[in-house]
């Protein structure tokens, strides 16, 4: 796409923003999230065939799971951004880590989207991590579309699942499609909006789009018999409870449209894409740190919600993902870094499709753009032109696991130090230091223990600095200050370290030790770290 004049691009901001649909897929681990992401890209005709992470020989790994550890484990441990066009819309799809150990990364992604797809395993229903992520969506006012996945496998009753969604989330489920055939015998779906039957035909391994045949109610009854009759009767029960879609209630966070699907077989995925385009909200004005709304057609502004390195093994570059909030972005434009007030050149800007990228000349509100070699940028930073704006900082979670990291090869301390700095700036781990431990033995503080495995793997594979980790027995970190630090550090079983941003953190073995010190010395500063409710 060639770059139009600045004036012409600015005139396009509102109509282009209206075309954007920016959403995240959230779920419990192993609900089929990355498979659904792949299937959506397949239905949008942006890839030719889909491949599960643990697919058959010759099938490639999912587009969104590109790290070696992700392919080996079959789970997502880092968020990925995919952009593609579908119908007249531009879709920005953010795949998120499903594992609870990476909640912080998921939370950051949820700050950058306008809607969410909540993926439910038909056999397991609403699981713990799904509920935690839903709570974040509710807190942020993000409307949620529900997909009941894996209907081609044995699972719960469909009406039972609707009751579970209603009781546990407080949302009124408004199914747009209803399954024909019980879980494990997926024939197709009844489209509740027009009463038609969409019959699916399985393809080999689900690698290509499943053929879909639309039949009238009479033809469906003749073909499917009792299964169709049951679906119609259950649909009538839903009609009686007024479980019909209402756009205003959906956007207000009162209801959730529901689609039944099998992502691995590509059943129902096309319907989800249509629902996203038709019902998910486009971008809207975003409040800044002072509560004032930055309108879509105000001058350019954006914030960094993720930093990722190691996506291009040949170049060892560093990619900062920005969500554009207002105005028009043009590659090469010079923007201002709100934290430092310094100019930042955007010479290398790219749209991202999993690990693959292409240069982007122009982007609009709602778009996610990757800025290459953005060493000056960190998670939560704001970029703008003209009138200054600062968006609210992104939450830093309270760590619960701690380990000392040491390099195995002292000759590679330079690589070790560079890798530690990279992990900290990306938010993979909080890096804590003290004079007693020295620079060669920093403490890594994380939300979940699998983050240690990621850090260790990346230090060796990306930075060529093999490391060893020694777990520490601390389980809680609180904030202290310079005046209190000596007395806090003198307490038994307590250690005070400095975070990269200058904050002093006191590490305790358990909450009882913390409470005991607070009771003995109430004058000491021992404040809880702010954390999102995940």
* Positions at the binding site: 95-99
Where does 117-216 have alpha helices with state H? 128-140, 158-169
Instruction: Retrieve residue 126's tokens.
Output: 């609403």
The answer to whether 458 and 498 have CB atoms below 8 angstroms apart is: no
User: CA 170, CA 417: separation in Å to the nearest integer?
Assistant: 48
Strand partners, 359: 350
Binding site for GTP: residue ranges? 95-99
Four-CA torsion 303, 308, 311, 312, nearest 10 degrees? 80
Closest by CA to 145, choosing from 128, 109, 180, 169, is 169
The answer to whether 368 and 419 have CB atoms below 8 angstroms apart is: no
Closest by CA to 360, choosing from 352, 351, 368, is 351
Name every residue whose Cβ is closer than 8 Å to that of residue 19 and which is 6 or more positions away in sequence. Answer: 88, 89, 90, 282
The answer to whether 217 and 227 have CB atoms below 8 angstroms apart is: no
| CA distances, 460 to each of 34, 409, 444, 528 (Å) | 26, 11, 16, 34
The answer to whether 451 and 469 have CB atoms below 8 angstroms apart is: no
Closest by CA to 84, choosing from 70, 63, 65, is 63
Give the chain's end-to-end CA distance (angstroms, integer).
40
H-run or E-run covering 218: helix 217-224
Length of the chain (residues): 534
Instruction: Name the 3-class secondary structure at 191.
Output: strand
What does the longest C-alpha to C-alpha distance in the chain come to? 81
Instruction: Retrieve residue 148's tokens.
Output: 């009941």
Residue 280: φ, ψ to 5°: -65, 140
User: CA 189, CA 162: separation in Å to the nearest integer?
Assistant: 16
Closest by CA to 329, choosing from 285, 377, 371, 391, is 371
Strands (E), 105-247: 115-121, 144-149, 172-175, 177-180, 188-191, 197-200, 212-215
Name every residue whose Cβ is closer than 8 Å to that of residue 163 and which is 6 or more positions away in sequence. Answer: none
């Amino acid at each position: 796409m060639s770059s139009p004049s600045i004036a012409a691009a600015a005139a396009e901001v509102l109509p282009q923003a209206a075309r954007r649909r920016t959403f995240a897929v959230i779920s419990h681990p192993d609900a089929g999230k990355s498979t659904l992401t792949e299937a959506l890209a397949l239905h949008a005709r942006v890839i030719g065939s889909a491949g599960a992470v643990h697919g058959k020989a010759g099938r490639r790994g999912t587009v969104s799971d590109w790290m070696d550890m992700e392919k080996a484990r079959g789970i997502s441990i880092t968020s990925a951004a995919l952009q593609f066009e579908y119908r007249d819309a531009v879709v920005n799809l953010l795949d998120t880590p499903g594992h609870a150990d990476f909640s912080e990364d998921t939370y950051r992604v949820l700050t950058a989207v306008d809607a969410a797809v909540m993926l439910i395993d038909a056999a397991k229903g609403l699981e713990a991590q799904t509920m935690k992520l839903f709570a974040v969506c509710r807190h942020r006012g993000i409307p949620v579309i529900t997909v009941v996945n894996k209907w081609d496998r044995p699972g719960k009753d469909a009406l039972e699942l609707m009751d579970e969604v209603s009781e546990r989330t407080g949302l009124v489920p408004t199914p747009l499609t209803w399954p024909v055939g019980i879980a494990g015998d997926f024939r197709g779906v009844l489209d509740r909006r027009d009463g038609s039957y969409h019959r699916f035909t399985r393809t080999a391994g689900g690698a290509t789009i499943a053929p879909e045949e639309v039949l009238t109610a009479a033809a469906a009854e003749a073909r499917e018999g009792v299964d169709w009759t049951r679906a119609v009767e259950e649909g009538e029960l839903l009609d009686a409870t007024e479980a019909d879609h209402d756009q205003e209630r959906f956007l207000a966070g009162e209801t959730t449209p529901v689609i039944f699907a099998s992502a691995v077989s590509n059943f129902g995925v096309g319907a989800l894409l249509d629902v996203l385009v038709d019902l998910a909200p486009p971008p809207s004005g975003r409040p800044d740190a002072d509560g004032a709304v930055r309108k879509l057609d105000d001058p350019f502004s954006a914030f960094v919600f993720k930093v990722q390195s190691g996506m291009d093994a040949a170049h060892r570059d560093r990619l900062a993902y920005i969500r554009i909030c207002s105005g028009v972005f043009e590659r090469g434009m010079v923007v201002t870094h709100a934290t430092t007030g310094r100019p930042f050149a955007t010479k290398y800007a790219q749209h991202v499709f999993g690990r693959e990228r292409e240069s982007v000349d122009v982007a609009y509100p709602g778009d996610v753009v990757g800025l290459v070699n953005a060493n000056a940028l960190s998670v939560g930073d704001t970029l703008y032109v003209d009138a200054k704006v600062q968006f609210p900082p992104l939450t830093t979670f309270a760590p619960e696991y701690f380990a000392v990291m040491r390099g195995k090869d002292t000759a590679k301390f330079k690589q070790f130090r560079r890798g530690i700095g990279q992990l900290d700036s990306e938010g993979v781990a909080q890096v804590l230091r003290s004079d007693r431990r020295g620079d060669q033995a920093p403490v890594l503080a994380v939300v979940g223990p699998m983050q240690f495995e990621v850090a260790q793997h990346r230090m060796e594979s990306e930075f060529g600095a093999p490391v060893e980790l020694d777990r520490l027995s601390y389980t809680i970190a609180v904030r202290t200050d310079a005046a209190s630090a000596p007395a806090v550090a003198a307490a038994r079983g307590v250690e005070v370290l400095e975070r990269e941003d200058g904050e002093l953190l006191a590490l305790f073995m358990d909450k009882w030790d913390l409470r005991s010190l607070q009771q003995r010395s109430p004058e000491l500063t021992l404040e809880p770290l702010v954390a999102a409710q995940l």
